[in-house]
Amino acid sequence: MTEFKINSREISNVNVLDITGYLDAHTAPVLEEAFAGLINEGKYKIIVNFSTLDYISSAGLGVFMAFIDQVRSNSGDIKLTSMSKKIFNIFDLLGFPLLYEIYSNETDAIKKYENQ
């Protein structure tokens, strides 16, 4: 099992969280802290890059639901990018594409923020 890690970076006033490894009940609090930290700093334009995420459980999915209303109420969003087919299928099965903008790559998600 790959250790869960988050790398945070900023591009054009958009904060990108690169998530790696297994996102489950044990590691979900790490992602919660990352979202909470950005929100506490007033950073509401967020992209989560899934390109190196191996697994996500329902607890991991719940983290996204926990913060979306707060982010959107501050004129921001959480956009999701670069999912493997396996990870996308989980999101799709649960209807997340109706709630979140999901992009095949990070560049398209950044352009969407720039054009808003």
Q: pLDDT tens-digit profile of 83-95?
A: 999 999 999 999 9
List Cβ neighbours of 88 (8 Å cut-off, separation of 6 or more).
102
**If phi over 0 gives left and psi between -120 and 50 gives alpha, with beta otherwise, what is residue 42?**
left
Say which residue the tokens 């396996």 belong to.
Answer: 86
Kindly state the tokens that stand for 39. Answer: 């929100």
**What pLDDT, on the 0 to 100 scale, is given for residue 2?**
77
Torsion angle in degrees (nearest 10) through CA of 33, 83, 2, 28: 20
Residue 103, CA distances (Å) to 27, 94, 108, 111, 114 in order: 24, 17, 7, 11, 15
Question: Residue 25, Cβ neighbours under 10 Å: how many?
Answer: 11
pLDDT in tens, 8-67: 999 989 999 999 999 999 999 999 999 999 999 999 999 999 999 999 999 999 999 999
CA distance 73 to 10: 21
